[in-house]
Every structure is written in structure tokens, then in C-alpha cells.
Structure 1
Amino acid sequence: MNRIPNDNDSYEIAITDNISSDDANVVNEYIDSAQASYEETGGIVSNKDDPDTLCVTFRSLFLGLSFNLLLATLNQYFIFKTVTYTFHYVLVLLLAYPMGKTMELCLPRKTLGSFSLNPGPFTIKEHALIFLMAYVASINVSAIDVVAIEYRINPRSNFVEGLFLVISSQVLGYGMAGIMRRFLVWPSEMIWPTILPYIALLRTLHEREPPLTHRWLKLTRLKFFILFSVGQMIYYWLPGYIMPVLSTFSWMCMINPNNRLLSQLTGHYGLGMGSFQFNWLSLTYGLPSPILVPRWAQINVLVSFVFFVWFLIPILYYTNVWDFKNMPLISLSLFFPNGKYYSPKIDISGTTEPFRMSVSNVLSIYFTFAFFPTLITHTIVFHGKDIWKQFRTSFKNRQNDVHCVLMSRYPEAPEWWYLILFLGSFIVAAVICRYGQYMPWYLLFLALPLSFACLLPVGILLSITNLSLNTTVLVAIIGSIIQHGDIVGASTFATFAFGTFNQALSLSVYLKFGHYMKLSPRSIFIIQLVMTIVAAISRFLMASYLSKHIPNLCNENKDWSCSNLLTTGTFYAVLVYSDPKKLFGQDSMYANMLYIILIGALLPILIWIIQWRYSKMKWLKYVHIPIMFMQVTLVGFLPADTFPSWLLLGFIFHTVIRMWWWNRYALLFTIAMDFGVQTSVFFLFFILKYQSINFPSWWGTQEVCPLSNANYYGNFPTY
């Protein structure tokens, strides 16, 4: 596809094969005569494959299924808890290696026909398959939110109906991902940088490293990974427990913390000017690692952030447009016109009272609605011809890419497999919606085309830049408009419109992972499908068990507040029972949102014309309006001071460090930080935080900018 130029400054090569002249020959089923079409994958993804390498074995299936069940059930359990925790699949990637090696040493090698508990050395493909099976379990199942909301209304809701609602929504997403493979998986332009660090670590663990030709750090990749992982494990105890101020370090606000204006401009909960975050977890909580985002994309984020957050928001706020001064500068909460919090709990009985939003929330919603028309127009204008070409191209005709050549040796999973899967799950979903009374079944004909329409453009953007959109607000608003007055119906529509979209997007990532790791497509089809269903059932059974055995679950139970579910449920309750015409109609305060949708849809066309007219101005080819809009949608979801720190780290890696050890260590640095943080979080949570053991209060545990989340008059919102 017409990929946006990366100006040689994206995540590039992280592991070099150091190919000798002898490797250019095809020997023993190896194909090593060509490089990948894109330098980002040219070294990190191996350009050779042995089809005889063990993949689907007893070891990989046993460990993969075990991790799948563990992650699905435990993560669903903690979603309902007040103190939440998520088991990250990066831990599985590291744990699976010693466990696989142990099984290699301990299991008997006897064979029964072609079956063996221990067929040989633990291979990289077995390891990759285990990781893929665990990842599937980490994908959130949005249909369980529907079941949880319905259970609050009707505690005797049908168990079987809820189970099939969950399964059908997940399998629909899997079918969509398979149907869209020719656009999002097969093309070499679809890089999916988010999976490159995992491949880098897999190859580091399993492959013998060639001799170092440059010893700037004098470290092998494995030693580098261990060193930085351990360093991050130790360091994270500072911002994560001992000195939380490192996550919200506003040095300017410390000069005069009682100054309201200074707090709003420089504080963690304000605009974050001059504020920094020294916490890898908070930096990458809602954003990808800056190492995995090309520099040209980061520049678009920078321009958008400076203009909209540091320039436009203060103007709108301090001129008191729509009474913004009554509310905090940055907040996702809803307010009464006098500035008090609006609807602190789910209101099943309904509400029609008017509410207000903060300036950051207004901009976030405006640009969320503008993002999809903008992205769709951008995709048509800049990628339309290549999408059509790809539509007419089969997998085996893509001989220009070494990975497609290698994968053509395996039988492909036919598209009709995925199509039957999609149609079958659609029928199940329609029956459940009809007889389970979740929503009118015919609304699936609106929800699923909407999901398909979003999948391709968002998938292209994510696969190239590693940046995507938070759809929480959009889901709530569209669901409330379609199913006004019915909170279960609104949630169900949102599940099939956006839950399946997110599921398909996540599974597309790991179809590409299987493509890079040269895993058999038919094996991936069967195993990923089974693991998707197993994870969905496990999550549903856990949610159902807790609903029946925990008194007052999600309702005045301090240990089981279901905060992750109620965040969505509250927003649904407010929007569903409010008149959409009063909120966004012609007579509403926010009616001009419709104009920004139109402007957003036209801007990519204008940019394309300008690029064509002034083709000699090379910098114009890096202007990307959807990325600029995407950044604004994150305002409020992420503290403003996340972006300066994130951009600074990206500048350091893409401009400074790349001159020394980028090619060898950058992607390993990313996954070392992730693994170190997640390991420390695990021990901190279960040893200290889950037991409510807090660190003694001192300066490092206190809020250094206490007025940053107050309104213009210095008042804090109350209920």
C-alpha cells in the first residue's frame, strides 16, 4: 500500500542476521535469498524458515491452554475488584521459556505412533504458539459488561443466553479478522510494530547470537535484556510505591503549590507544562512505547498537542466558553451547571437533568466523532488504489515479500472458513438478541457494517504507526442514540459495533505475528479459534460465579465495586436516559459538533491537493490529520503531562541513541522495561497493595500540585 514514508527514523532493525554469502543458498528447506520489503522488519523478523520445526506439540498445547485459562479467569476476577490488577502476557513470554525447557528435560521421549510427549528440543515456534494462546486470553470481552449490567436489572437472567452472547461476539471478531487478512496481514506494508519486541525477545532466547562486530556496550542481547529488566524491576519500586511523586513530577508547581493558575498550567491534572513522568508504566499506560512509533508520527502528535492542549484549551477555558470555569480544566467527569459532579452511580430509573462537560471532555468527544470520517477519507485518498489492488491479489501472488514466499509453503486457511465462522456466529448472535431480548436482532445489520467500516482504516493506521483511538466515548454516545432509554440494548449494540471491532483488530495483530513467525495458517486458525472460545467461556463463568456468590456485587460493596465496569455503565446510564437531541441536536449547547465532523472529512482531501500542488515541499508528505485528531481524543483519558515525557523519550531514542545502539538493543529495551515493570507490579500488588499496606507518608508520597484538579475559582467538585 502507499505507505507513508518513514524518513529512515522509525523503529528499524533491532536484530541483525549477519548473513554470510553461504546463507544465500536454499539448503534443507531454508529460504534465505531475499530480504524483507521494509527495513523495519528486515532484521528483526527472520528471513528463513524450516517447515519441519516443531510447533503444535503436547508441550505447546499444555502450556498454552494453561496460560489461557489462568489469564482469562484471573483477569476477569480482578475486573470486578475495587483494587484491580491485570496479568500481562509479557510475563507469559518469559515464564514459558524455562517451563518449556523443563518439560524438554523431564518428559519421557517414548512415542506412540506419531505422538510423543517430548518430541525433541523446545523450539521457537512452540514458544511463539504458547505466547499467542496466552495473548488471546488477555483480550477484554466487552459482552460481559452487557451481562453484568443486565444482571443488576434482572438477577435471574438466563445463563445460556449470556454465554452464547459472549461467545458469538468473540467469534464474530475472529471471523472479521480472517476475512480482512488480505488487507491487514499479508501486505508487507502492514508492519504491526507492536509485535516486533516480542519477536526480538523470542529470537534472543532461542537463537545463537552471531559474533559482535561493534562493542559499544559490550553486551550480548540476552545480557542487555537481563540487565535492563532487573534494573527496571528495582527502579519501579520508587514511582510505584516509595516515591509516587516521580510519576507526577511538576517542578514548576513546586515553586508555589498554592497558586491556582500555576497549578492548572503546570500540574499533573492540569496542562502539564514543565511536568515530567519518570515512570515507564504511566508513560505507556494509554500510549504505545515511543520507541515503536515512527518519528514523523510523533511530530504530528507534538504539533497537535501543542496547538490543541497548550493553546486552544486555555483560550476556551479562561474566556469561560460554556461556563468551563465552573469545572476543572482536565476531566472526563460529567457535571451539573454549577460545577458539582453529575450522577455518581448508575441510574437505572433514568435521568433527564442537563449536564455539562469540561473543556477537555468536549474536545475529546468532538474529535472522537471527527476522527473516523477523517480517517476513512484519508484511507480512501491515500490508500484507495492499493486497497483495490490488494482486493484482487491472492496470497500466493505476493512474491515480492520474502515472508509471503516462505509462508506460501504452508496450506493457507481458506477465506470461506472465516466466512462460515462469521455467518454462523452472526446467526447465533441474532437468535440470542431476538429471544434473549438484548436488543432488536436487525440492529446487527447496522452494528457489524459499522464495525467493518472502522476495521480497515484503523487497522492500516495501527499497523503503520502503532497509534489508535480510544473508542469509549464514541461507543457510549452511539449506543445511547441507537437504543435510547434501554441501557442493556445500548451496551449490546456497542458490543457488536465496537467490541467485535476491537476483537478483530487484536486478533489481526497476532495473525501477523503468526505470519512473521512462520506458523502454519491452518494450525493458527484452529488453535486461535479454540483459545478464543475457551477464554470467552472462562471469563463468563468467572463473571457468572461472582454475580451469584458475592453479595451486593458492583453495588455498595467496597471490595467489589466493579470500577472498570461502572465507568462505562455510568456513562451509558447518563446518556441512554438523556434525550440525544438535547445533548447534540440543533438546539443543544454542543450542536456545532456536526460541523467539525464535516471539516474532518474534508481535511485529508485538502492535504492531498496541497501535497500534489507543492510536491517539492517534502515535509508535507508527513502531515497526517487522523493522527493529530487521535491525540486530541486522548485528552482527559491520559494526564496532559504524559505527552511531553513520551515525546521527549521518543526524541531521545529516535534522534540521539539511534546513533549508537539502536539497531541492536532498542526493541529489547522496550520489552525489558515492560517485563521489569510488570514483574514489580505483580509483587507490589500481592505483597503490599492487595493487603492495603501503604508506604509511610512523606514528601515523595504527597501531591505536590494540589490545586491542579480544582476549577477556576479554586473549588473542588463535590457530589
Structure 2
Amino acid sequence: MASEQKQEYLAEKEFVDEKFDIERSSVILEEDENSPIPEVAAIVSNKDDPSLPVLTFRFWLMAILFSIVLSFFNQFFWFRTQPMTISTLVIQLLSYPLGKFLARVLPSGFLNPGPFNVKEHVLVALTANCAGGTAYAVDIIVIQKVFYLQDFGFGANFLLILCTQMLGYGMAGVLRRYLVYPAAMVWPANLVQVALFNTLHEDENLQAGQWSRFKFFLVATFSMFLYQWIPGFIFPVLSSIAWICWIKPDNLVLSQLTGAGGLGFGAISLDWNNIVSFLGSPLITPWWAQVNIGIGFFLIAWVMVPIAYYTNLWEAKKFPILTPALFRDSGDAYAPLSILTEDKLLDETKYAAYGPLRISTFFALTYGIGFAGLSSMITHTWLYHRHKLVAQWRQSRDHSEDIHHKLMQAYPEVPDWWYASLFLVMTIVAVITCEVWNYKLPWWGVLLAIAIAAIFSLPVGLIQAITNQQPGLNIITEYVIGYMLPGRPIANVTFKTLGYISMAQAMLFVSDLKLGHYMKVPPRAMFWAQLMGTVIAGLVNLLTANWLLSTQKDVCTKNNKLFSCPSARTFYSASVIWGVISPNRMFGPTSMYNAVNYFFILGFLLPIPFYYLKKFYPNTILEYVHIPVLLAATGMMPPAQAYHYTNWLALGFAFQFFAHRYHPEWHLRYTYVMSAAFDSGVAFMVLLSFFIFTIRDKAMIDWWGTRSDLCPLEGEPYYPVEVAPDA
């Protein structure tokens, strides 16, 4: 049976282009039937015990505790100049000994139904996972208070966070038939968590001298914890070694090309947190996807951008080569409040007198590539996945894809009306919030944003489930509402959040459902766990943000070196471009940036020739080309910088190519565990340094290794402001 499934899977190349080249002979199976995916078969158990208790007192206690702690720290670190995300993997580690301890000390019965089991453990982690991210709507609150000097109050803020974070539930209820049940929908990031659960809960059959996963995890975690003090505190220069720039730091072009704040040619990072901060772990993204990302990055950041900059496209030399900042035509900083009314709407007269908005050529090209990536996703999904989607729709009610789906039939599924009711209620809350507190977004705008999220959720999910990369809808949502409601910055970011984050949250919930699917957790228990984690996170995120906004001087500005909020400032720039100025003025027929609109057409057409080339030349390198992933490569720039990509790809080559190909058994056993261990070691170091130093306002003594001015010209324009040539 397993052999037949595997053959069917490999035959259906139209659905999954990825090739798992590990031989099945390297995987020792406990039963004949297993997943047709080698990585899944090696990591995920094909057995289940439906009698294990799940919604226990221990679960509720730990889930609430860790959700509060994780949401607080991640929101806190999100404000920092060097952001840090504490992974849910840390909660997996901490909850294991605590669960064992509670099972030992609590009285038997309701409070203690028996040994702490893996399903309780998974459910704690799922709850924390829903609480671990920072609510995107917090960005709206931050820019309102810091940049637009506006505050709608705690009630409005909380309702906005709640509805934007929970609308994705309804979409997840529909998408589970396409993105959870099928074996081909791997969700590679989940395999890291599964590996850690197995490490903690299962006995391993080890060969002589072979380390257990748990021993490997402990050693790797402790090693990273010790090491991270060097780049993270003692010697921060190691986080971005722009050694070429150091050769002649007063050379402007050399600084722009090789500086960490420029294009990062040759820049090296020895800081795990720095490498994974924007793209996630390179140890879990498939190598073929990393190759697409690398090609996309090379063509965009290292070919297109330097050519455009040094040929002075759109007067690029007036501005730094890599920046999300906003400028006047002279090269001075743009002041959006100078052109707004008291209600924070565009004043046409003031705008005409103040002048047009200018952005760096890189920033403009990034938007163009985003346009192309979005349209290519539509074409790619239609060409490669349409037949499979139709078949899955017909078979979704009664078809078992693999052993894991069969084992899940032991548990009652969540009724569709649960998801539908929650989706409807949150839609109503969103409409009421925007109307009552005058976000300048009418009811039809709310419904349109939600519709965009719903339409794109499936194609985005297909890409993420296979490649571990998520194309964003932030650009298209900004674009659409910017044309429909120009001059309304708060309406623009609210529409973007409803349209983009509703989809992103749906992907989070679906990914968690897949994790529960792998670990055989009852679906109804997952539903309530996800719901609780999301509500707790929204409340804690808001309280933490309000605390920092009220206690930190010059928070989210460059004047505050510790809490400068790079993501919020990029969010603010986007609100000005798409909301205040509007896409018609920025990219319309009379704008110098009008050409970026043609990227929509380019992206739509680009997958077509590669689709037919693959048919004419099967089993070649063309099989690995994935246009949406390639075009989405630089989607995190800014705030991500070029050297983040190069160092991420270097580690990816070491593990997802070299170790995968030449040491497959080691790779299958230890790579995902190593990723979890490195994340955990960094997180423990950051937490400890926070309590010892940050909270007491202490820092490392100044020396050469703590300097940030070793490449002082990397963020400077080619033409200084005072001598910039006339337009």
C-alpha cells in the first residue's frame, strides 16, 4: 500500500514539484503502511493511542501560563532595534519537565489523570503557537500614536486586534480539506516540532555509539546558549562582518555594495538569531526552494538593484541604495503630517505646496517584484494544481490520503458551522469597529478586504505547505484600497491588515491543524486550544505595546537606540505611500514610478513558458523552478537586509543539500532537532540577558567589538543632500 501511494505521489508532479531524493531504504518503518513522503515517514509516527487524555487540568494551566509569557516577550522584543522571536520550540522544551513535575505532585483524579502524555504536550505547544506571534494590528496602534498622534482607545484597539487575528479561523475550516488531509501537503516547519516531541517522548532504537535525539538536543542547546553570548552581547560586530567594507570604509561605492546596511557583498554573520530573524530556519526549508529564493535574491538584489542605482534610474543616487525611508525631491526626509488635515486625511492644497513623495529605487522595485509575485501565484496555481484541486474537492468528504488521515478518523471532526459562526461573528465585529470608531474604512471596504483574503488563501497555502514560504497579500491590499479610498492612511492600513493578516492567520491555524494531524490530537481539542491562545495573545500584545509606548521616550524612532521598531517604521512608510499619497500619485500614469505596474503582467506570464518547458524536457533542472517562490525571494526586504539572505543560503546549502545528499540518515535524524536546539539556546540567552542587563538598563562596555560605525557610509546616498543635482 505504501509503495502504491508513493508511486502515485511521484506521478502527480503537477501538484508537488519537490523531489524527495532520500531513498526509502534509509528509513526504518514500524509498519508496512506509512506516509509516501520520506521526511514525514522518518519523523512522524504511524501509530496512535486514542485513549490518551488531552484537555486536562495540566494542559489548561500550562497553556494559559506559557501563552501569557510568550506573547509578552515576543511583543516586547518586536519593539527592539534588533528584533527577536522566541520560538514555540522553547515552550515545547519548558513544558515537558513542568508537565512531568505536575503529573508527579498533583493528586490523582481530575487534576492528574495519569502520566503527562505527548498529546497534552502538543496541545500546550499549539496554544502557545497561536499566542507566539505579535498581532499585526498592533502596528496600526503604534503608527497612530507615534506618527499620526491619534488614539482610539483600548476598546477599539482590542476589538481590531481580535477580529483581525481570528477571521482566519473560518478560512482554515474550509482549507483543511486541501491543506491538512492530503499527504502531499507536508508543512516542513512542523517536522521540526514533531522531531522534538519524538525526542522527548519516545524511546529510540540506537546503534552502538549513536546519540539519542534528546542527548543531541541538550548538547546543541547548551552549546548555542554559550556561544550566543559572543555575537549577542560581548562581540556584536560578529553579527555582521562587512570585512570588504572595512578595507576602505571612506569609499562610498564600496560601502554601498559591501556594507551590511547596503547590498552586503561578502558580508558574514556568525549570529544564528540574525540569520534566521526574517527568513526562518534554513535547516528546514527544502533545498530546491532555497535555490529558487537564492536565484530570485541574486537577480533582484545583486543584479537589478545595482544596475538601476548606478544608472540613476528614477534619480536613485539622491537616496541611499537600500532604505524604506521617505524623501522629498531634494533628498530631505518627508514629513507626512505637513500635508494632512486634523482628521488625518490628505489636504490637496498642502500637498501641492509641499511636493511629491520620493522613495529609493530599491523600494520601488521591491513593490514591482511584489506585484509580479502575486500575479504569478495565480497563474502557477492554475497551471500546476487545478486538476488536483478538483479531485480533492470531490473526494474531500470520504477519501483517506495516507495512514495519518486514516488514524484521525478515530476522532470527531470540528463541525463546519463552528468555523462558519466564528467567521461571521468576527466579520460583524470588524464592520462595527471600523464604523463606530471611524477608521475611515466603510463597511464595504471591510467585506472586500475579507474577500481578498479568502480568495488568495488556497494558492498561498499550497505554496507554503510545500515550500515553507508564504507570499504576502500586503502589497495588493494596499494597492486596491489606495485607489478606492485615496488620502486615508488609517483606512489603508486597516484594510491591509484585514485582507493580509486574515489570510496569514488562516495559514497559521492550518499549519497547527497539520501538526495536530501528525500527532493525532483530537480536532475539537485543537479548536479550543487555538481559540484560547489567540484571545490571550491579543490582550497581552496590546497591554505590552501600551506599556512600552507610554514608558519609553522616543519609542519607535531612530532617537531610541534600543526600541526603534524597524518593522513599525516600514509599516508607517507603507501607510504614507499607499494611504496618504495613494497609488495613483505614486505609480499612476503621471508618476516616474509608473513602470512598476508592468510587473503585474510580467508575473502573470512568467510561469507559462516554464510550465511547457518542463513538459518538453522532463526530469531536468527545470522541474525545480518555482516562479512564485523565486519572485517572493526579496519579499522581506526591507526590513531584512541582503546579508541575511546570503548567510541563510550558506547554512541551507550545508544542511539541506550537503547533509541531505551525502549523510541522509544523519540528516533525517538530527537536522530538525538541531534547528529546534539552536532556537532554544538563543532564546534562553536572550531571556537571561534581559533579566540580568536589559531590565536594569545595563550594556556591554564599549570596545571595538561593540562598534556600529565600522562602515559609516553604507546608508548614505551617492549624492549628498546639499549637492544633489536638480531633477
- TM (norm. structure 1) is 0.89
8 A Cα contact 1:151 1:157, kept in partner? no
User: Deviation of residue 494 (structure 1)?
Assistant: 1.5
**CA 1:549–1:701: 2 relative to 1, 3 Å:** closer
> Structure 1 residues 226, 381: CA separation in 2 closer, same or farther (over 3 Å shift)?
same
Quote how far apart the aligned CAs of 1:636 are: 3.4
For 1:512, the equivalent position in structure 2 comes to 514
The C-alpha deviation readout for 1:292-348, integer Å capped at 9, x for no partner, is 122211222222222222222221111111111122221121222232333388975
Matches within 5 A, 1:4-403: 4-8=16-20, 18-19=28-29, 24=31, 33-76=32-75, 86-109=85-108, 111=109, 116-147=110-141, 157=152, 159-212=154-207, 215=209, 218-343=210-335, 349=341, 350=346, 352=351, 353-398=355-400, 400-403=401-404
* Greater mean deviation of Cα atoms: 328-337 or 543-552: 543-552
Q: Superposition RMSD on alpha carbons, in Å?
A: 3.0
Contact in 2 for aligned 1:4/1:622 (Cα 8 Å): no
Matches within 5 A, 1:378-457: 378-398=380-400, 400-438=401-439, 439-457=441-459
Is contact 1:348-1:573 (8 Å) kept? no
Verify: 1:587 aligned to 2:586, yes or no. Answer: no
Contact 2:221/2:678 (CA < 8 Å) preserved in 1? yes
Classify 1:164/1:321 alpha carbon distance in 2 versus 1 (closer, same or farther; 3 Å).
Answer: closer
1:571-650 equivalence runs, <5 A: 571-612=574-615, 614-616=616-618, 618-650=620-652
SS of residue paired to 1:697: coil
- Aligned-pair distance for 1:207? 0.8
Give, in whole Å, the separation in 1 of the partners of 2:254 and 2:548.
46
- Contact 1:168-1:429 within 8 A present in 2 as well: yes
Query: What is the aligned partner in structure 2 of residue 27 from structure 1?
Result: none
Report whether the alignment pairs 1:707 with 2:708. no
The amino acid that maps onto 1:494 is: K
In the alignment, is the contact (CA less than 8 A) between 2:380 and 2:607 conserved in 1? yes
More moved, 545-554 vs 184-193: 545-554
Amino acid at match of 2:620: K
Q: Which amino acid aligns with 2:259?
A: G
Cα shift at 1:239: 1.2
Q: 2:655 & 2:338 partners in 1: Cα distance? A: 45
How far does the alpha carbon of each residue in 1:446-474 deviate from its partner, in whole angstroms, 9 at most, with x for none? 11111112211111111111122355555
Deviates more, 1:581-590 or 1:289-298: 289-298
Alpha-carbon distance in structure 2 between the residues aligned to 1:346 and 1:539:
31
- Shift of the 99–688 alpha-carbon distance from structure 1 to 2, 3 Å rule, reads same
Gap change, CA 1:716 and 1:607, over 3 Å in 2: farther
Q: Could you tell me which residue of structure 2 aligns to residue 28 of structure 1?
A: none
The equivalent of 1:3 in structure 2 is 15
Q: SS of the residue aligned with 1:43? A: helix
Counterparts in 2 of 1:509 and 1:582: CA distance versus 1, 3 Å? same
Question: SS state of the match for residue 163, structure 1?
Answer: helix
Residue pair 1:271, 1:310 contacting (<8 A) in 2 also: yes
Q: Which range is displaced more, 69-78 or 408-417?
A: 69-78
Residue 686 in 1 paired to residue 698 in 2? Answer: no
Note if contact 1:547-1:553 (Cα within 8 Å) is conserved in structure 2: yes
Q: Could you tell which deviates more after superposition, 180-189 or 528-537?
A: 528-537
Deviates more, 1:530-539 or 1:313-322: 530-539
Please identify, of 410-419 and 615-624, the stretch whose mean Cα deviation from structure 2 is larger.
615-624
Q: 1:681 to 1:178 in 2, by over 3 A?
A: same
Q: Which amino acid in 1 is paired with 2:131?
A: A
Deviation for aligned residue 1:355? 2.3
Q: Distance in 2 between matches of 1:523 and 1:293?
A: 29
Cα distance between partner residues in 1 of 2:428 and 2:269: 49
Residues 122-147 of structure 1 deviation map (CA, whole Å, 9 limit, x = unaligned): 11111111111111112322334445
Are the counterparts in 2 of residues 267 and 708 from structure 1 also a CA contact under 8 Å?
Answer: yes
Relative to structure 1, the CA distance from residue 261 to residue 566 in structure 2 (aligned partners, 3 Å threshold; closer, same or farther) is: closer
The reply to whether residue 695 of structure 1 matches residue 691 of structure 2 is no
Matched AA of 2:672: L
Return the offset for 1:441: 0.7
Quick one: distance in 2 between partners of 1:161 and 1:636?
A: 29
| TM superposition shift of 1:154 | 8.5
CA deviations over 1:549-572 (Å, ceiling 9, x no partner): 999987999698766545423431
Note closer, same or farther for the CA distance 1:262–1:89 as it changes in structure 2 (3 Å cut): same
**Bigger shift: 685-694 or 627-636?**
685-694
Quickly say closer, same or farther: Cα 1:142–1:348, change in 2 above 3 A.
farther
- Deviation, 1:64, is 0.5
**1:497-550 Cα shifts (integer Å, max 9, x gaps):** 112111111111111111111000111122322332333234345556777899
Aligned equivalents of 1:693, 1:549: Cα separation in 2: 17
Q: Is the 8 A contact 1:268 1:275 kept in 2?
A: yes
Structural mapping, 1:631-670, within 5 Å: 631-658=633-660, 659-660=662-663, 661-670=666-675
Letter in 1 for 2:436: Y
**Structure 1 residues 346 and 653: CA distance shift in structure 2, 3 A:** farther
Contact persistence 1:193–1:292 (CA under 8 A): yes
* Residue segments in structure 2 that go unaligned for 5+ positions in a row: 1-11
| Partners of 2:474 and 2:496 within 8 A in 1 | no
Deviation, 1:4, is 3.2
SS in structure 1 opposite 2:631?
A: helix
The 8 Å contact of residues 44 and 194 in structure 2, kept in 1 or not, is answered as yes
Identity among equivalent pairs (%): 35
Q: Deviations over 1:260-282 (max 9, x none)?
A: 22222222122222222111111
Q: How many angstroms apart in 1 are the aligned matches of 2:479 and 2:722? A: 27
Whichever residue aligns with residue 513 of structure 1, its letter is: L
Asked if 2 retains the 8 angstrom alpha-carbon contact of 1:479 and 1:491, the reply is no
Distance 2:192 2:644 in 1: 22
Residue type of the alignment partner of 2:705 = G
| Change beyond 3 A, Cα 1:432–1:717 | farther
- Cα distance change on mapping 1:376 and 1:211 into 2, 3 Å: same
For residues 624-660 of structure 1, give each alpha carbon's deviation from its aligned partner in whole angstroms, at most 9, with x where no partner exists: 1111111133343322122222222111113333323
Partners of 2:722 and 2:387 in 1: how far apart? 53
8 Å CA contact 1:139, 1:503 repeated in 2? no
Give per-residue Cα distances to partners, 1:340-370, cap 9 Å, x unaligned. 3333889754573312222221221111122
The count of corresponding residues between Structure 1 and Structure 2 is: 695
Looking at structure 2, the residues matched to 454 and 270 of structure 1 have their Cα atoms a distance apart, in angstroms, of: 33
Deviation at 1:480, TM superposition (A): 3.5
Could you say if the C-alpha distance between residues 595 and 704 of structure 1 is closer, same or farther in structure 2, counting changes exceeding 3 Å? same
Alignment of 1:524-563 (within 5 A): 524-541=526-543
1: distance between equivalents of 2:86 and 2:16? 35
**Kindly tell me: are residues 551 and 102 of structure 1, through their superposed partners in 2, closer, same or farther at Cα, counting changes over 3 Å?**
same
Question: 1:29 matched to which residue of 2?
Answer: none
Structure 2 residue 571 is the aligned partner of structure 1 residue 568: yes
